[in-house]
Amino acid sequence: MKLWIVMSLVLISIVIGGLFLQQSILKTTDRISHTLDLVQGAVRNNQWREALAMRDKAEREWHLQKNRWTPLIHNHDLNTITIHLARLKSFLESEEEASALAEIAEMTLKLVQLHEQEVLTLENIF
């Protein structure tokens, strides 16, 4: 009987932890995507300093969450977003509009893929 109680508690803990991680990923990817939309608008309006400041904000938030997710998500996926943020910084500093917009589009796509990979669905379980 005690074994069933312990197994039930472990199972409940895993499910609650998974739901918490899923909500964390959803909120973070939404916030970063929104910030990237603002960066994209600033780039299109040639507001390079503002775009760089917003990119820095997105990077700070990303690094905070990345450290929390590292034990649970593939490091390759996390490092890909970090690399895109670094490239975007270079493009913003050199005021390369087309490259910056392309990097933002690719990063947004990667964030959507990350979210879809980590959402609790039957497809992801099996």
Identify the pLDDT of residue 40. Answer: 95
Q: Which ranges of the chain would DSSP assign to H, the alpha helix? A: 2-44, 48-69, 75-93, 97-118, 122-125
Residues counted in the chain: 126
- Average pLDDT of 46-54? 94
Q: Note the Cα 116 to chain centre separation in Å.
A: 11
Residue 38 near residue 54 (C-beta atoms within 8 A)? yes
Task: State the CB neighbour count (10 A cutoff) for residue 79.
Answer: 11
pTM for this model (two decimals)? 0.79
Identify the pLDDT of residue 71. Answer: 73
